[in-house]
Amino acid sequence: MSASRGAAAGRTGQAGSRVEHLLRQIAPGRYDAYEALLGALAGEQLWMLLWHGRPGAPDAQYGNMQVDGHGYAPCVTSAQELSASGWNRDHELVTGLDIARALYPDRWGIWLNPHAPGGGVGIPWADLRRVATGLDRMPAGPLRLSEPAIELPQFYALLTQNAHRTPAVRSLRRAWVQPVLGSPYLAIGLDLYDTSPASVESVRAMMRQSVTAVPDGLPVSTVAMSDAHDPVALWLRACARPFYDREAHGSGRGGASQQPGYGYPPAQSR
């Protein structure tokens, strides 16, 4: 391990017994147990291992681990686990919610009890983001993403027509999202010129008007293409061509001359 990012403010607390109970249930394919673990992390405290500095100090830094090219900050789940780990540097107590909010924007995850038999359990940054923002607001991964196979010509025609009448919309993309838990759904990627309140409200109105053409029972969600941390937006940006592109049709916002094909991925990524 080596020095990593700055540490959050220290806290005091008791062992996260529910987290430790759920850790014992984690096994390949047990996505239900993993989801329960994520839910428990938000409300309990973790012993974050400090590579440098003291709790709350401006120069405090967490340790880091690199696993399959991804960064994780190691931590333990109780004072007993801290003793078992043999860690001889300082540590701090931070709630799972606070550490999730601190680490995910820089694409850092956490690794629970790396000293334990089997190597512990890693929580990647994408799942820390779900902890930080609410598990019910984002689909459970790993996600299976693909081009939609369902034919919805009326919906896409109406949505394209309404998008053309909504100046805030630059382009639209689509994906079929199958979460590991929960129902699959159609995701519409929104690429906007700006995210002012007036623009966002106009796009919401566009979607409300358009989903009237969606068959009953088919869930439709939206994702902001500007979200650098959303896995659906990242997939759309890399793998999906816009099905509506204002600039490619020579009608750039405000009549300005624009480069056609905005947002199209390079040919080799298709």
Residues 89-142: tens digit of each pLDDT: 999 999 999 999 999 999 999 999 999 998 999 999 999 999 999 888 888 878
| Model pLDDT, residue 218 | 95
Cα distance between residue 51 and residue 62, in whole Å: 5
Q: Note the residue count of the chain.
A: 270
Residue 104 near residue 132, CB atoms below 8 Å: yes
Q: Which residues contact 31 (CB under 8 A, 6 or more apart)?
A: 140, 180, 181
| Model pLDDT, residue 265 | 33
Q: Where are the domains of the chain?
A: 17-137, 144-254
CATH node for 17-137: 3.40.1350.90
| Model pLDDT, residue 77 | 94
CATH node for 144-254: 3.30.300
Those residues of the chain that have pLDDT short of 70 are 1-16, 249-270
pTM of the model: 0.74
- Residue with the two structure tokens 């902001």: 224
Transcribe 207-240 into DSSP letters: HHHHGGGSPTT--EEEEETT-TT-HHHHHHHHH-
| Model pLDDT, residue 249 | 67
Q: Do domains 17-137 and 144-254 have the same CATH topology?
A: no
Residues 180-194: tens digit of each pLDDT: 888 999 999 999 999
Cα distance between residue 167 and residue 202, in whole Å: 9
